[in-house]
Amino acid sequence: MVAEDAVIAREETALSSQVEDRVMIMNIDTGTYYEIDKTAARIWDLLEQPKTFGELCDALCQAYEVERAQCGSDSSRFVEEMKGLGLLKIDA
């Protein structure tokens, strides 16, 4: 799980565009495109400016009716997956 005080930021090589309620993201290093759904797009939007993982979860809990533990678990999984794709960076 991502630490509460870890700073999450978009990679500079990740370009994105809003398409209705989804976001298309391209890793310009690999030329690979990814499509994320509405909830994941909200996370992507929140990370327009770097945030700690705790700040990210706070914002998501305010936007959605979700328990903090569930939000942390789901968001951590998403952030780590996006890091693995070269779209986000995590500075612990």
Helix or strand holding residue 58 (H, E): helix 53-63
pLDDT at 71: 96
* Domains of the chain: total: 1
CA distances from 86 to 11, 59, 60 (A): 7, 23, 23
81 within domain boundaries: yes
Helix or strand holding residue 50 (H, E): none
Q: What is the mean pLDDT of the chain?
A: 96
82 within domain boundaries: yes
Instruction: Domain of residue 61: give its range.
Output: 9-86
Q: How confident is the model at residue 20 (pLDDT cuts 50, 70, 90)?
A: confident
Regarding pTM above 0.85, the answer is yes
68 within domain boundaries: yes
Q: What is the mean pLDDT of residues 35-50?
A: 95
Is the predicted pLDDT of residue 3 greater than 90, yes or no? Answer: yes
3 within domain boundaries: no
Q: What is the mean pLDDT of residues 39-56?
A: 96
Q: What is the mean pLDDT of residues 28-56?
A: 96
